[in-house]
Amino acid sequence: MAALRADVAIIGGGVAGCSAALHMARAGLAVVLLEKGAFGSQASGVNAGGVRQQGRDPVELPLARRSRALWARMSELVGVDVEFEPKGHLKLARSEAAMAELENYAATVRPYGLDIHLVGRNALRMEYPWLGDAVVGASLCADDGQANPRLVAPAFARAARLAGADVREHERIIDVARLSSGFTLTAASGLEVRATQIVNTAGAWGGEIAARFGEPVPIALMTPNMIVTEPLPPFISRLIGVVGGGVYFNQTKRGNLVFGGGQGWGDLAQERGRPLPIVTAETIGHAIACIPALSGAQVIRSWTGLEGVMPDRIPVIGPSHTTPGLWHAFGFSGHGFQLGPAVGAVLDELVRTGATTTPIAAFDIGRFA
């Protein structure tokens, strides 16, 4: 089998990798994208679909703001509807201390251009009468929203293919090596790719790729425990989060309530994960405490996926410190779905010019050296 030749080979077909393939192909690069499973089958496709800026580490906000601009024209960008709704993100406080935390955060992120509106108990009851008594206040980022995570990465992949990228599912990389002038990648199928540069968007497996090039990082596995109910009459008008975690949820266009909280079980080597019944029960309890009307809802499915989490809860994005031509973007720690479109645009800039217009110094892999 003759080797494929490309300017760039991308390892991993989540939202970030597929977005990178699209941006690079439209910029005229020869791109090969290899995904070991199906596009968006892990972290990018098994989340709750939150497209949120509120609650992020401030160092992520320039990237999140850039991504929000791409979400606003997502249908134009990828050519299909990915069910993006700018419905706003309401973050609930269940104590006065939690409300103070929201107030402090709103002040901290104001210089980044993120507008967060604080909502007191009385106003909250008037606007959201379905909230339970446990909620004492909230903060609203009206610019946030949600999308269908099962649609986004595949949509980027299809658009990248139409733009000229060679995008392939079910191609597991078993070897990647530096050559005198570029890299060679070998897949379990026997496929060989030779590329001038490579991009590591391998998600929970991104640390394995980095370690091959002498850059081990303390990446850990997280397995968000997710739940969906039967379709319900529409009543939850916002994407919902809670200070301190425990539960987060949204209602889809079809009426299903998608929510998550806690961790399931997962094994990276086996590439398997499953939800845990005790965690599912605890999460349902948290959800009912916030929204009592959910007490009669029928749960129809629960699931989990495998995601990579860094100790500081922010991703690795940027150049390798050991290997010229290698670029990393992994370890999004459970909140990379919103960032993915802009991460792809940043990777395109890095590959073509060696620099990006978006601040990414905080994400440098060298912080773990």
- Taking the C-alpha atoms of residue 285 and residue 287, their distance in angstroms, rounded to an integer, is 5
Handedness of CA 160, 166, 171, 173 (dihedral sign): negative
**Segment holding 75, helix H or strand E:** helix 74-78
- Render pLDDT for 275-318 as a digit per residue (tens, 0 to 9): 999 999 999 999 999 999 999 899 999 999 999 999 999 999 99
Calculate mean pLDDT across residues 250-270.
Answer: 94
Three-state DSSP state, 228: strand
The whole-number pLDDT of residue 1 equals: 65
For 273, the enclosing helix (H) or strand (E) is strand 272-274
**pLDDT tens-digit series, residues 206-245:** 999 999 999 999 999 999 999 999 999 999 999 999 998 8
How many residues are there in the chain? 369
When pLDDT is averaged across residues 118-145 and rounded to a whole number, the result is 96
- pLDDT of 175 reads 96
Residue 266: phi and psi, rounded to 5, are -155, 155
- pLDDT, tens digit, 9 for 90 and up, residues 74-104: 999 999 999 999 999 999 999 999 999 999 9
- The per-residue pLDDT for range 235-248, each reduced to its tens digit, is 999 999 999 888 99
Query: What is the pLDDT of the chain when averaged over all its residues?
Result: 96
* Residue 358 confidence (pLDDT) above 70: yes
- Contact indicator for 186, 175 with CB cutoff of 8 Å: yes
Average pLDDT over residues 127-156: 96
Looking at residue 85, the DSSP 8-state letter turns out to be B
Cα 343 from Cα 336, distance rounded (Å)? 9
CB 138 within 8 Å of CB 93: yes
Q: How many helices (H) and strands (E) does the chain have?
A: 9, 22
pTM: 0.96
* The pLDDT value given to residue 246: 81
Q: Which domains does the chain have, with CATH numbers?
A: 4-49+150-218+311-368 (3.50.50.60), 89-142+224-304 (3.30.9.10)
Please give the share of the chain, as a percent, with pLDDT higher than 90. 95
The pLDDT of residue 350 is above 90: yes
On whether the CB atoms of residues 143 and 88 are closer than 8 A, the answer is yes
* pLDDT value, residue 3: 87
Give the whole-angstrom CA distance, residue 53 versus residue 56. 6
* Nearest CA-CA partner of 308 in 242, 209, 231: 209
Average pLDDT value for residue range 334-361:
98
| Residue 348 pLDDT > 70 | yes
For the record, the structure tokens of 128 come out as 């959201």
pLDDT tens per residue across span 30-55: 999 999 999 999 999 889 999 999 99
